[in-house]
Chain A
Amino acid sequence: MSDATQSNTLPPESAGIIPEASQVSHRKLRQAIVDLFDAGEFRLFCHDLGVNFDDLGGPDTGLTARVDALILYVNRRQRLRILLTVLQENRPNLTWEQILTDENDPEPLPLTVAPRVAQADDGTPDTILASQGFTALLSLLRSPETHEAIVRFQNDFQAASTRIDLLNDLKLAHDLFQELENRYFLIENDRKRLPDDDLAWDSLALNEPELEAKIDDLLTLAVQSAFAEEAQRWSQQLATVREAMRTAVDGTDLEQLSAACRRLYRIINRQPSRLNAQLITIAKALRLKNLQTAVTTICDVIDASDIAELELVNQIKQGSGALGGIDTRLQNLTAEHDAWQAIDDELRRVETSLDSGLEELDEAWLDLEPMTLALLQTQTDAWATDLQTVLTELGQAINEAVVVTTRRLFRRFRSQSGRRFRQVDLELLSLCHDLQKVGESLDLLLRTVK
């Protein structure tokens, strides 16, 4: 035990209160964990949080770095409240609010690996309501009837929490692969300038580290994600490509660079589609409506037991209703995401053969056109009108077999449909991110029930 623990024999008035996640200083949280707990306790924290201590960095990683990795992990999964709860449970007498906040030097928590999602927002109204509903349930846990009812649905809550976690990780990975592809295109453009343009090596020297950083993000996610085991293969391949890419650029070896680019492209070409397939499966299995039914049933129990805290009961009911809205939105977004992913697969296939002829496009067009029209059917936004125009022009060019025009329009079509895909991507990513708040509330509830 540390000295600090021994010096706090009497709990202060503010003891036991944990600060809001958004107020926590990363520097102070790290310092508190390192100063107030020993390595053995830290291992127990990790276990308690469902994290493998050994996955927090490599075998030679120091404790501070592992603490950082843990904070990053819980932050990405939006489980900071649970970490703080664990800390508070282990040192109930400390004034955690004071210890972890610093108005003068807030140093916010580190960004997660999904930088484009706002970190500090509270989510959509539905996710806030749902989260608040579960928190309200937590407050009513002291009632035996409520406790009993929650225990009855414990497995459902646990399954939902796990799937929300997995859904978020999958979407994050999908998004990171998209960013990796953007980096890859820069490298590929540089590669194409070689060997004629030696300056391309200078450009590669700038772009390659960016690519490496993105691969590192993916590798970190792969290790800590809920699908770590499945990600093992592609993460190994990514690690190999990263080394090959670095060696090639350092040694200005074009042949090695080309080989590395191809290997990387192959990973990029396959994994997003796989992640999407898993994401669709998990989204369907999440069954938020079942969760809604469970909460409604618990509400009925609470109503029957004459519990006076009506405000909390209302929050639970509102949360229950919000779960239905989230589910509808999730199913819609995943369906559209899936459809765009299918189009993207077709477009990728065509792109690789486009320079050697239009045969593949001719064949793919029979699928691409109806797939796209189905997505545009109910859309009236500007993007849909623009895409419809390109789609029509491309169809004409294919019929007329005008090679140059067809290629140009195909690439325009791919660009515009890709933009829409990214928009759906971001919306889904954002929803998954928001869902984590629900997951956090569920975890707290389950933790308390246990």
Chain B
Amino acid sequence: MSASETPHTQSQPDAFLSLTSVRHTHRELLQRRRQEEDEAFYTAVTDFMRRAQASGIYLDNDSDRWAVQNLIDYWENQLFHAGRTPPGETLLAEFDPHSEPQLPDDLCPYVGLGAFQPADGPRFFGREDLIADLLEAVQVHRLVTVLGSSGSGKSSIVLAGLLPRLAQGAVAGSSQWHIFPVLKPGSAPLTQLALLLQAPDADPTEWLVETLEKFRQDDHQLTHLINASTGGTAVLVIDQFEETFTLCQDESERQAFLANLRQLAQTPTRRHVVILTMRTDYESQLSKYTDFQTAVEAGQIRVTAMNAGELRSAIENPANSIGLKFEDGLVDALIREILGEPAALPLLQFALLQLWENRERSRITWEAYRRIGGVMAALENTAEALFDSMIPEDQITTRRLMLRLVQPGQGLEVTRSRVRRRMLYSAGEAQDRVDRVLDKLVQARLVHLSAGVTLEDDQFEVAHEALVRNWPRLVDWLDEERVHLRQRLRLTTQAENWAENDKNADLLLRGPALAEAQQFTDFNPLEQEFIDASLAEKQRVELEKERQRQRERRFSIALGVFAIIAIVGVLFLFRAGRTAGAAQATADAAQIESLASQLTSEALAREGTRESAGAAATSTVTSGTATSQADTIATSQMQNEFRLTEDARATSESIWGTSTVQAEAQSTATAVAQATATSSSSSPRATPTPTPDREQLSNIFSENAQLGAFYRDQDNMLMLYITGHTFLMGGLPEDPEKRDNELPLHKVTVNDFYLDAYEVSVQQFAAFLNAIGGYKSNCGDGRYDCAATGFETSFTMLLNNVGFYEAKAGYANYPINWVTWYGAHDYCQWANARLPTEAEWEYAARSIDERLFPWGSATPNRRLALFGVNPNTTEFFQALQPVNAYPDGVSLFGSYNMGGSMWEWVQDWYAPDYLQTPDNGRAYEQETGLKVARGGGWPSSGGDLRTSRRLGLPPTFNINRIDTSLQYWGVGFRCARDVQP
């Protein structure tokens, strides 16, 4: 548009602020035209054209200007057609940066961390396809479950997407449906139901008591109440349904709640609709309630990550509706940051809210984006800024409050609670300080406040689980709390173990373990007795030591006396050498020497340390017998304490002591024999004699792995022969990055086995899926999907071509990802193999030379492994590598990518530490809800590539983890096989 054509611009108070608002009025005019074309209508058209023309001063985007101009011209034509004269100027006013409106705060188009509510429908965008699916689902099913990871937006889709549309009549007759206020189960779901359905004239207390009783007695009670209160179809939405399992502790209440819901959805007389939103990581909880699970399975909608177009819509459309603009390229940057990240929607909304608050007039700027630190850091920065601004007392209160609102579990899960204000007050802490801190947290939108009838009844909850994942300080607090809990649990376990073993004094607490236990105060009687006994034992030992020290002092004196006697004796003999009794004198001297040696050895054995024994042995002039004896005693003592200390490195050498080397030689020989029997193509080398040292043995094992290797028939995978051995499993003492769940370091013996040289490839997995007929509900005896939901998105290398699976072009030999544990497990079965146990996996990676990383101790780098790839870039695919990449990073046995590339499923259920795991190389079979993954993945940090690094992941859908270091698209696997089934 040339200047000559541009009309004079001036601020227009009623000019449209955006293309969206122009379009909105334009569509109103179109609708109105279908009803009437009277004078008032044409006046409205003229008015629209004038306002639209004036809106040019606010529009700097070329395509927006063009779109508005076309609409003006369209209506101008319509006026001509109706024989009317258009208003004077129809050329869009020139953009005037000085006229940009100052958008008022209350126009804010973004919601921050909280879910969108039904009233937010007009500003909820980007989920049209999923909403269409939901609308279809509520017509077909009466119990619809919306499953998604935390932060996937499932609540918002239902609340702001589905419900407003139902109210508008998107489904035939739905405008007449009765939609109840959204319910969250909390710790007392039946109470919530009762309150929701309370008759207006009922006495609250009586109503609650009676209704709760009826709920428990009659599964149809909910149906009766709803039938009585509504005339037609009712819609009951239960948000955060997982609270039924996480917050509700009363099993009978839970069962009654589920039974009532199921009956409501199945009642034959009237058609009601129950809609649940639930986190996928709690989906497995449903399996305990078969009837309910069956009902749920029929109508499931899974919320997947938003694609780029949907994200753009979610960002731009709310902005457009109020005339908010983004500087060029900024929306693209926001999308790039979170594309493919399933749990990032709350972060995006939070960042958008921050950007809104940092806007310049009606514009979101790059400067604001940089100021908040981008999408991924905005939440952390805000939380940290708030925390830093607090006085120390308030900081302490903040920590306490946050840990009250979010509580860690035994594993990696956390429990998020809604807590009343009065419950947040604490003895010894000023209430006004608690109120002050709560206000600050609410104002910063980190905590959500649900106002109660009285101030004390106000309820607080963290605004979103995203806070738990993305505020490192809170993560640390939770970790500390988790360690604290684990120590507490350990104390209970140890006390019970002590009691079960006839209160054996050997099992009492000692040293740091006792000191650790003494920090707690809330002991049960057994624990109290255990602590008391441990303290008594400690006193007894100290007393004994004191006595011992006294004995030693006496012994030293005696020894000195003896030495003097001996010297005198020797001198005497020397002088008497020429005498006939010389022979007898020599015999006496030998007897004295022998006696001295025995006394020394006994004294040192009582001291009980290798160091003192070694020193003492060196200081003696006698034979090595005493040293050997001291070694044995020391080893024995340490083995007793093996499971009680975190630093077992001192025992490392004991595995290589004389007694164990022989066992290893035998083990190797057995392995060789077995390998020879198993593989006809090659034979591992026989262990040479004499007994080799560790380096020699490593070489033999390495050679055996290749000599005993063979290609598996089913999928042509190369399987390496892993010679079994005893090794130290867990975080190594010198490893600064070792985690609590890698402790204690303990001794495990694994038998010989075969292990895949490579991670299973996309092509191999595709063949498996084609063989079994698809991935949906086709693994784990048909109960689970073989791949995670995200598998269906663009972030996979596996393509589903109408039921036929194949690798994306160029990715056939790349590792498969998105695999569920059941998918991995079933694949290995299909391939006549099995998943490796956790111990086998660690042994295969660590080997007998205790490697920190599969390749050794070298810090991970790009030559050794694939790791540290930013998954938030859309180009991450280009960084992935084939399964046989990184030959320099192979393990001792020659297996590729045991560090990096993909996290790898193993057989074991996840235990929070190694206190109860087997030491025979078998899998930990106690079901914990999480399976173990090993080895780190392409998005991981270098520390995740450590051979001891372990991760607990939900076996079916691993996208809701708390630990953000793992990206769910980075899980694959390799298989193992017994040498002798």
B948 to chain A, nearest CB (A): 51
Closest to B132 in A: A401
Q: Is A408 an interface residue (CB 8 A)?
A: no
CA–CA, A259 to B6, complex, Å?
13
B30 interface neighbour in A262, A263, A269, A364, Cβ under 8 Å: A364
- Which of A277, A348, A356 has most B Cβ within 10 Å? A277
**A352 B34 Cβ-Cβ under 8 A:** no
**B74 A367 Cβ-Cβ under 8 A:** no
A345 surroundings in chain B (CB, below 8 A): 74, 77-78, 81
Q: Is B200 an interface residue (CB 8 A)?
A: no
**B30 A367 Cβ-Cβ under 8 A:** yes
B63 surroundings in chain A (CB, below 8 A): 356
CA–CA, A444 to B23, complex, Å?
54
- Which of B33, B81, B83 has most A Cβ within 10 Å? B81
B519 to chain A, nearest CB (A): 62
Q: Is A329 an interface residue (CB 8 A)?
A: no
B64-72, B724-732, B760-768: which one contacts chain A?
Answer: B64-72
Q: Is A366 an interface residue (CB 8 A)?
A: yes
CA–CA, A345 to B78, complex, Å?
8
CA–CA, A353 to B30, complex, Å?
16
A266 interface neighbour in B23, B67, B73, B80, Cβ under 8 Å: B73
B66 surroundings in chain A (CB, below 8 A): 262, 352
Interfacial residues of chain A within 328-344, with CB under 8 A of chain B in the complex: 338, 341-342
Q: Is A193 an interface residue (CB 8 A)?
A: no
CA–CA, A338 to B82, complex, Å?
11
Interfacial residues of chain B within 121-136, with CB under 8 A of chain A in the complex: 132
Q: Is A43 an interface residue (CB 8 A)?
A: no
Closest to B92 in A: A266
B81 interface neighbour in A262, A273, A352, A364, Cβ under 8 Å: A273
**B74 A348 Cβ-Cβ under 8 A:** yes
B 54-91 binary contact with A (CB < 8 Å = 1; else 0): 00000000010011011101101110110100000000
CA–CA, A266 to B65, complex, Å?
12
Report the contact-size class of chain B (Cβ under 8 Å from the partner): 20 to 34
Closest to B90 in A: A270
B 1-38 binary contact with A (CB < 8 Å = 1; else 0): 11001000000000000000001000100110110000
B70 interface neighbour in A269, A273, A364, Cβ under 8 Å: A269
**A349 B70 Cβ-Cβ under 8 A:** yes
CA–CA, A223 to B70, complex, Å?
28
**A270 B73 Cβ-Cβ under 8 A:** yes
Interfacial residues of chain A within 236-289, with CB under 8 A of chain B in the complex: 244, 259, 262-263, 266, 269-270, 273-274, 276-277, 281
Q: Is A121 an interface residue (CB 8 A)?
A: no
B77 surroundings in chain A (CB, below 8 A): 270, 273-274, 277, 345
B78 surroundings in chain A (CB, below 8 A): 345
B5 surroundings in chain A (CB, below 8 A): 263
B966 to chain A, nearest CB (A): 35
- Which of A274, A276, A366 has most B Cβ within 10 Å? A274
A281 surroundings in chain B (CB, below 8 A): 83
Closest to A274 in B: B80
CA–CA, A348 to B67, complex, Å?
12
B720 to chain A, nearest CB (A): 49
CA–CA, A353 to B63, complex, Å?
10
**B80 A349 Cβ-Cβ under 8 A:** no
**B2 A259 Cβ-Cβ under 8 A:** yes
Q: Do A273 and B30 form a contact, CB below 8 Å, given A266-B69, A348-B74?
A: no
CA–CA, A345 to B81, complex, Å?
10
A370 to chain B, nearest CB (A): 9
Q: Is A381 an interface residue (CB 8 A)?
A: no
**B71 A342 Cβ-Cβ under 8 A:** no
CA–CA, A38 to B505, complex, Å?
139
Q: Is A363 an interface residue (CB 8 A)?
A: yes
**B70 A352 Cβ-Cβ under 8 A:** yes
**B76 A270 Cβ-Cβ under 8 A:** yes
A363 interface neighbour in B30, B80, B83, Cβ under 8 Å: B30
B 105-138 binary contact with A (CB < 8 Å = 1; else 0): 0000000000000000000000000001000000
A359 surroundings in chain B (CB, below 8 A): 23
Closest to B74 in A: A349
CA–CA, A367 to B29, complex, Å?
12
Q: Do A363 and B34 form a contact, CB below 8 Å, given A263-B5, A273-B77, A352-B66?
A: no
A 360-392 binary contact with B (CB < 8 Å = 1; else 0): 100110110000000000000000000000000
B 706-720 binary contact with A (CB < 8 Å = 1; else 0): 000000000000000
Interfacial residues of chain B within 177-214, with CB under 8 A of chain A in the complex: none
**B27 A273 Cβ-Cβ under 8 A:** no
Closest to A276 in B: B81
B 132-171 binary contact with A (CB < 8 Å = 1; else 0): 1000000000000000000000000000000000000000
A363 surroundings in chain B (CB, below 8 A): 27, 30-31
CA–CA, A363 to B26, complex, Å?
10
B939 to chain A, nearest CB (A): 33
A360 surroundings in chain B (CB, below 8 A): 23
A186 to chain B, nearest CB (A): 20
Closest to B77 in A: A273
B3 to chain A, nearest CB (A): 11
B73 surroundings in chain A (CB, below 8 A): 266, 269-270
**B1 A259 Cβ-Cβ under 8 A:** yes
B70 surroundings in chain A (CB, below 8 A): 269, 348-349, 352-353
**A273 B71 Cβ-Cβ under 8 A:** no
- Which of A266, A342, A353, A356 has most B Cβ within 10 Å? A266
CA–CA, A427 to B404, complex, Å?
83
CA–CA, A244 to B2, complex, Å?
10
A274 surroundings in chain B (CB, below 8 A): 77, 80
B89 to chain A, nearest CB (A): 12
Closest to A370 in B: B34
**B81 A349 Cβ-Cβ under 8 A:** no
A273 interface neighbour in B23, B67, B80, Cβ under 8 Å: B80
B132 surroundings in chain A (CB, below 8 A): 401
CA–CA, A263 to B74, complex, Å?
15
B371 to chain A, nearest CB (A): 31
CA–CA, A277 to B66, complex, Å?
24
**A277 B30 Cβ-Cβ under 8 A:** no
A412 to chain B, nearest CB (A): 22
B172 to chain A, nearest CB (A): 15
CA–CA, A360 to B67, complex, Å?
11
CA–CA, A341 to B78, complex, Å?
11
A308 to chain B, nearest CB (A): 49
CA–CA, A436 to B63, complex, Å?
45
B74 surroundings in chain A (CB, below 8 A): 345, 348-349
B71 surroundings in chain A (CB, below 8 A): 349
CA–CA, A342 to B37, complex, Å?
15
**A366 B27 Cβ-Cβ under 8 A:** no
A342 surroundings in chain B (CB, below 8 A): 81
CA–CA, A279 to B368, complex, Å?
56
CA–CA, A153 to B551, complex, Å?
151
A348 surroundings in chain B (CB, below 8 A): 70, 74
CA–CA, A266 to B5, complex, Å?
12
A298 to chain B, nearest CB (A): 33
- Seed contacts A263-B2, A349-B74, A401-B132; 6 additional CB < 8 Å A-B pairs: A262-B66, A273-B81, A345-B74, A348-B74, A363-B30, A364-B30
Q: Can you identify 5 A-B contacts, CB atoms within 8 angstroms?
A: A266-B69, A274-B77, A348-B70, A349-B71, A360-B23
7 closest Cβ pairs, A-B complex: A273-B77, A277-B80, A352-B70, A349-B74, A274-B80, A277-B81, A270-B73
